[in-house]
Amino acid sequence: MIKSVIFDLGRVLLTFEPVEYLNKLYGNGEKARILYNAVFGSKTWLDLDRGTIDYEKAKRVMASEFANYAEDIDFLMDNWVEIMAPIEDNIAILKELRLKGFKLFLLSNFHREAYDRVSKKYDFFKLFDGIFISSHYGLLKPEREIFLTMLNKFLLAPSECIFIDDTQINVSAAEELGITGIVYTEPQRLRQKLEELKIL
């Protein structure tokens, strides 16, 4: 019997389209591609998600690797969070699940500083019974340990949980532990899947 629903954050509850963002700023060309690799596609970005580096050091590392783009990197690191906005159809699903009595949890690979900003900005974070942010624990999805640590922290039984994430590898990792997984693609399909599971 499902009692808890675990949500990812970026691209599930908040928009996150860095390629589109860069193309709007710089055009769909070489500079946008270079800056994607310098920032969003970098190992340093993953280090931020894991919480092993802070923003100021991350900016220095990125700028040292892409010296000709230091000013752009600084701008992007200071402003990229603004591309994140609630996906309202999914926030509505979140609220419906809450009203139906399900426990709600958040499990996300997310930078500490960025999480502080968005969690203060949007009220839907108050709907969660528990929040597990990768950078607070030094772990990353799809590592097995992040799921085990979260389950233990909130005393959750895998067979009683659904996990919703936009990345197949993360969902597969959860399913290996006995959690029911849903690969998110778009709101209507998510609602349909939850209805099939008799959750909505």
Residue keyed to tokens 């919703």: 164
Shared-domain flag, residues 75 and 102: no
Please, are residues 105 and 132 in contact by the beta-carbon 8 Å criterion? Answer: yes
Q: What's the predicted TM-score (pTM) here? A: 0.97
Shared-domain flag, residues 102 and 190: yes
Residue keyed to tokens 């349909």: 192
Mean local confidence (pLDDT), 148-154: 98
Burial of 54 (0-12, 13-18, 19+ CB in 10 A): middle
Shared-domain flag, residues 91 and 78: no
The total domain count for the chain is 2
Burial of 96 (0-12, 13-18, 19+ CB in 10 A): middle
Mean local confidence (pLDDT), 26-41: 96
What percent of the chain lies above the pLDDT cut of 90?
100
What pLDDT shows up at residue 5?
Answer: 98
* Six-digit token string for 9: 């954050």
Shared-domain flag, residues 95 and 164: yes
Shared-domain flag, residues 70 and 158: no
pLDDT in tens, 154-197: 999 999 999 999 999 999 999 999 999 999 999 999 999 999 99
Shared-domain flag, residues 114 and 178: yes
CATH of the domain at 115: 3.40.50.1000
Domain end point (choices 43, 59, 83): 83
What percent of the chain lies above the pLDDT cut of 70?
100
Mean local confidence (pLDDT), 113-127: 97
Mean local confidence (pLDDT), 126-141: 98
Shared-domain flag, residues 29 and 99: no
Shared-domain flag, residues 181 and 127: yes
Domain end point (choices 83, 112, 128): 83
Shared-domain flag, residues 104 and 24: no
Print burial letters for 62-94: b (CB count within 10 Å at least 16), e (below 16). bbeebeebbebbeebbeebbeebebbeebbebb
Mean pLDDT for the chain overall = 97
What pLDDT shows up at residue 28?
Answer: 87
What pLDDT shows up at residue 107?
Answer: 98
Domain, as residue range, for 48: 18-83
Check whether 91 has a pLDDT greater than 90: yes
Shared-domain flag, residues 109 and 185: yes
What pLDDT shows up at residue 100?
Answer: 97
Shared-domain flag, residues 35 and 77: yes
CA separation for the pair 7, 107 (Å, rounded) = 6
Mean local confidence (pLDDT), 43-62: 97
What pLDDT shows up at residue 32?
Answer: 97
Mean local confidence (pLDDT), 69-84: 96
4 pLDDT band (50/70/90 cuts)?
very high
Check whether 141 has a pLDDT greater than 90: yes
